Amino acid sequence: MRGQFTGWPEQAMDVLWQLQGEPPRAVREHCRADRERLVRQPMIALLGDIADADPRYEDFSVWHYRTGSWWWQNQSAVIRLGRKIEIGLRFSLDGLRIQGAWWYPDPGQVDSFRRAVASERSGRELTALVEDVRGKGYDISGDVMKRPPRGYPADHPRAALLRHRSLVAARTLGCEEWLHTPEAVDRVLAATADLDALMTWLVHHVKRTA
């Protein structure tokens, strides 16, 4: 059932402002309860509504706090789609950011990715998918080698993709008034739709081998 998420309260931004820089432990502890209520719990509610809208997104985690100040200033969450393949969300003073990522690969996953890229049919498909999300405003990045891997010609038509040892498509969704309303659910669902075909390709072709 939709409707858990009502938006991040405007006071959430006030809490994050207090946590900027390198806040001492006393400041973190002072903000902990408000940050949990105003920042982290709305992210849990948002992901709950996303999962209700699409059961493929039911396997999610919303991070707790860690030692580094970055983790207090940014509320991150992931939706797991496959082994090392996930959609990530991050809420901060900059607004809401989304990314679709295959990263930190298991042994053998990079080889599976390269074989699929080198294959004419699946490789052309990935090229088109990457260009599609790039055209929708997503930045394409990842762990990229300086040259194509051994065993593949330097002039391979998909040499740029073969150099990837991870693949990330990310963009900022914004920091407007809709963040404080249920509209954020629809904004995230629209972004997951942007990423759907690319993430499906990765789930299908990047196999876990270890």
Q: What is the pLDDT of residues 154-200, one digit of tens each?
A: 899 999 999 999 999 999 999 999 999 999 999 999 999 999 999 99
Encoding tokens for residue 166? 């991870």
If pLDDT is split at 50, 70 and 90, which confidence band does 208 have? low
Query: What pLDDT is stored for residue 87 in this prediction?
Result: 98
Instruction: Determine the CATH number of domain 11-205.
Output: 3.30.930.20
Query: What pLDDT is stored for residue 41 in this prediction?
Result: 97
Average pLDDT over residues 57-68: 93
Measured CA to CA, the distance from residue 131 to residue 63 in angstroms comes to: 31
Q: Inform me whether the pLDDT recorded for 2 exceeds 80.
A: no
If pLDDT is split at 50, 70 and 90, which confidence band does 1 have? very low
Rounded to the nearest integer, the mean pLDDT of the chain is 95
Q: Inform me whether the pLDDT recorded for 9 exceeds 90.
A: yes
Query: What pLDDT is stored for residue 67 in this prediction?
Result: 84
Long-range CB contact pairs, 84-91, < 8 A, 24+: 84/109, 84/206, 84/208, 85/199, 85/202, 85/203, 85/206, 87/57, 87/192, 87/195, 87/199, 89/43, 89/46, 89/47, 89/188, 91/8, 91/12, 91/39, 91/42, 91/43, 91/179
Strand 95-102 and strand 85-92: pairing? antiparallel
| Whole-number Cα distances in Å, 2 to 40, 54, 71, 80 | 18, 11, 28, 20
Query: What pLDDT is stored for residue 65 in this prediction?
Result: 86
Query: Where do the structural domains in the chain lie, given as residue ranges?
Result: 11-205
State whether residue 128 is helix, strand or coil.
helix
